[in-house]
Chains A and B, each alone.
Chain A
């Protein structure tokens, strides 16, 4: 069983949803982002999503764009992102790691070599934003061979007729993009989420995570009441960016502030179904 499947199976037994915090690799620098990553499981992260910096992040809003820019300036590359996962795995063999990014750095690295190296580094799943089901044959067979889950995005615009096609060959979990829009802009309402989930559940038994627009502990709790996991990205990066100095460098409070944010989200997620 993959680390992702094992983690969701365990959470299902516990009867609670998962918190998936996001960080951009090397934002604002290698050491700080590695420290945040290392601290996230203890703060309550059930899975962790790591953003791979790309020069042209078309699906991302200003907050993650800025994160990517800081990371690239600090020297981030895809190879260094994998190295960061390898370091993390030395201290944690249980928390699933999902890489989220765009296709071009992977093509540039070499798809086959990337899948082999990512799996060896301890990556569990891939979300490639600009690789829809229609073009997935470029990467999916290689990822499957390396034991990496291919996590597909489902959007509000994905209609029922298209849903089985989108989820065909996906594994790990399903990432529901809760809004038609870019990251960190607006949030879906509870009713919108409640209406969307049955559409996905009819087609797949994979766990469903909700992302895009999940910012507060209350929103994360709401997400795991209808779905299996909540992804929080822009809000955490926003929190982190607030601790940086005028030159965009980490300060003494950067890591602890972000981890406190993760902790607050995790507490809300863990309490979400208790009162239900």
Chain B
């Protein structure tokens, strides 16, 4: 079993970030109100101490193995590869984790941290509901009260997950400000945190937010890439030619990419949600179409208007429907180490059907964006080439959305 938290990186590595202020180049940082600042510093100190504590690591390992079901398998998608007629495609199957997505990886680490800090109440934001479900799950496991903020629009389109969270004992608070999606849920969670700093831990679901969250969530998600690297090595004796993952805030992609950052021969491709198309008003491609700014505690690429007002994102996938992106992605984008592409709603829907038909796996709409890009590049690749894709969530939660988009009444 791999160590869930990566060892300290070597010099001359792309894995050494962030600096002590939480900056990845010009991105990241701690842009929060003073009320939160002491708490952010406390989270950082607690995390650094925990990371150095072997008993903390051992407890994470135990939970990931016996509760989450790690390591998740690596699957050679043979029929899909045949159908596309090019590269050999491997799925990292994080959709088989307990709760159905990669989100639980970071929830396990963060709930243990919250307990170490003596916090007695957990709050979280959620878009698709996967992070909310994973948070509610670990809160149930440890008997902590949990409040999940979710945009009212998302509450409507992710009903199964809303019910799951409630069943798990969480309180789901619909957020009606803005467009009622992930951005607004995060605003509301931050407002809750400011009002309840002393007893509450904010369990952020992605590699965004103020330092140390982008670093910490990344560290907890790196188990994806570490496992995949070892599994692919065992199966094929080599590294992938390309690794692909979808990007909303970017936690599953960061988890997959980070262990490969110093393997410069491996092409890394993040796939943003192009919604109706990159050249329309309705997409969620902050790296492809945004510009740097500050939101939710960090400096990063954002969708914003000429006056610096944040714009609403749009994607059929609630989990990618966010106008920002984790700051480390912004840095990797600017230095050119990771390429960022985009897939539209329609392409993602087609990918859901392709994957289901050829592999018997119903993917979530989020990784369907990654698969849509794989379907674009794989046919032109050599038959010996290897594409590694993170299948970061399963599609059960999306069946109503997909049926609706395909014109089927359930």
Binding site for B on A (CB under 8 A): 54-61, 65, 72, 77-79, 102-109, 129-135, 152-159, 162, 166, 177, 180-182, 185
Contact = CB atoms under 8 A, between A and B. Distances in A.
B35 A180 contact: yes
B308 A135 contact: no
B195 A180 contact: yes
Interface stretch (B101-109, B150-158, B293-301, B383-391): B293-301
A83 to B, nearest CB: 13
Contact of B307 (A108, A153, A180): A108
Contacts of B304: 104, 108
B199 to A, nearest CB: 11
A165 B198 CA distance: 21
A61 B33 contact: no
A55 B310 contact: yes
A157 B34 CA distance: 8
A132 B191 contact: no
B112 interface: no
Nearest to A72: B309
Interface in B202-235: none
B307 A58 contact: no
A107 B297 contact: no
A61 B195 CA distance: 11
Interface residues of B: mostly helix, strand, loop or mixed? Answer: mixed
A180 B32 CA distance: 13
Given A130-B33, A132-B33, A135-B30, A106 B38 contact: no
Given A109-B308, A134-B21, A180-B194, A155 B33 contact: yes
B310 A156 contact: no
A133 B85 CA distance: 56
Given A58-B191, A59-B35, A105-B308, 7 more contacts: A55-B310, A56-B310, A79-B307, A157-B36, A158-B37, A159-B38, A181-B35
Nearest to B195: A181
Contacts of A135: 21, 29-31
Given A55-B310, A182-B191, A132 B34 contact: yes
Contacts of B196: 180
20 contacts: A56-B183, A56-B310, A77-B307, A79-B307, A103-B31, A104-B304, A104-B310, A108-B293, A108-B304, A108-B306, A109-B307, A130-B31, A130-B294, A132-B31, A135-B30, A162-B37, A181-B35, A181-B194, A182-B194, A182-B195
Please classify how large the interface on chain B is, using the bins under 10, 10 to 19, 20 to 34, 35 or more.
35 or more
Contacts of B308: 54, 78, 104-109
B178 A157 contact: no
A157 to B, nearest CB: 5
A97 B309 CA distance: 23
B148 interface: no
Contact of B197 (A54, A107, A180): A180
Q: Which 9 A-B pairs have the closest CB atoms?
A: A108-B308, A105-B308, A155-B35, A181-B195, A55-B309, A153-B34, A77-B307, A104-B308, A55-B310
Contacts of B307: 77-79, 105, 108-109
Contacts of B309: 54-55, 72, 104-105
A61 B191 contact: yes
B302 interface: yes
B50 interface: no
A158 B34 CA distance: 7
Contacts of B177: 65
Contacts of B346: none
A96 to B, nearest CB: 22
B195 A185 contact: yes
A61 B177 CA distance: 11
B31 A157 contact: no
B187 interface: yes
A152 B29 CA distance: 18
Most B C-beta atoms less than 10 A away, residue of A56, A129, A155: A56
Contacts of A129: 33
B190 interface: yes
A3 to B, nearest CB: 24
Contact of A156 (B35, B297, B311): B35
B298 to A, nearest CB: 10
A107 to B, nearest CB: 6
B39 interface: yes
Contacts of B296: 56, 58
A36 to B, nearest CB: 22
Interface in B30-72: 30-39
A186 B38 CA distance: 21
B294 A107 contact: yes
